[in-house]
Structure 1
């Protein structure tokens, strides 16, 4: 089922220079009233007016550890 996803902040970001720039982002978003973390890869080539989301995936709940104890 599709749900509204509101990105509230960028938690972590880094750039990788390729044929353009590949941005690796970790963002916090609110979905159904819960804060969740997502990782995104966005490829940008400004000289071609090109922006493309290469990957967007859920990685966990905000404040919860993903490491098993």
Structure 2
């Protein structure tokens, strides 16, 4: 049983559309702009449950996030 596996019945894209194959092209994924570095980043499977809350492209950008100055 080698080769490609069929997509599980609960496979959906970030936009909520049903996947027809097990593989999705990176260009077809949702993307956002990082709040720290300003670079675009794409949806990742590990973020599927919290995609609306994701603001940073990496742990490094999250740690170095811009902080408001309190004067």
TM-score when normalising by structure 2: 0.24
Q: Which has the higher helix share?
A: 2
TM-score (norm 1): 0.24
Higher strand share: 1
